[in-house]
Amino acid sequence: MDEPTDITITTEQRGDACVLFPVGDIDLSRSPVLRASMKTALDDKPQRLVIELSGVSYMDSSGVATLVEAMQLSRKAGVGLVLCSLTERVQSIFEIARLEQVFTITDDLDGALAT
């Protein structure tokens, strides 16, 4: 099945951290794009993987599942995973799924880079 790719993901190196900046809604049709970017980033074995989510105004459970998968892959690879700058709606779905204590989440990118 062809999947739409109307989500953009920029990758930047900040010190020892690889930072992903996804922009767009993350649902069943877009989460594969995020998953591919995260796997590519993890292949380079950065010390930390930061996902800056200020550009994500909507995320459903497929997006959450993708981030849980990233957490598991990061742990296996010995890479620290930090989420930052969650919008109110994305924060809400993490709370509904009771995952806000499972992930390392910071208010902003500076906080993520300082962890």
Partner 1 sequence: MTDAASIVKHADQAAEHAVELRLLSHPTYLAGARELVSGISRRLGFDDKGSGQIALAVDEALANIINHGYQRAPDRPIWIKLWSEAGPGLAGVRIVVEDEAPHVDVAKICGRDLEDVKPGGLGVHIIKEVMDSAEYSTRDPVGMRLTMVKHLNDTHAPCPDGPAPMDTPANG
Out of 102, 107, 110, 115, the only residue in the binding site for partner 1 (CB under 8 A) is 102
How many residues at the interface with partner 1, by CB under 8 A?
A: 25
Of the residues 11, 13, 15, 28, which one makes contact with partner 1 according to CB under 8 A? 28
17-41 per-residue burial string, b: 16 or more CB within 10 A, e: under 16? bbbbbbebbbeebbbebbbebbeeb
Task: Give the C-alpha separation, 69 to 63, whole Å.
Answer: 10
- Decide: is 104 part of the binding site for partner 1 (CB under 8 A): no
Nearest CA to 56 among 76, 34, 81?
A: 34
Window 59 to 88, contacts with partner 1 (CB under 8 A): 60-62, 64-66, 68-69, 72
- Please list, in sequence order, all residues whose beta carbon lies within 8 angstroms of the beta carbon of residue 83, skipping any fewer than 6 positions away: 50, 51, 53, 67, 103, 104, 105, 106, 112
The minimum distance between CB 95 and partner 1, in angstroms, equals 9
Shortest distance (Å) from residue 10 CB to partner 1: 21
Residues that bind partner 1 (CB under 8 A): 1, 3-4, 25, 27-29, 58, 60-62, 64-66, 68-69, 72, 89, 92-93, 96-99, 102
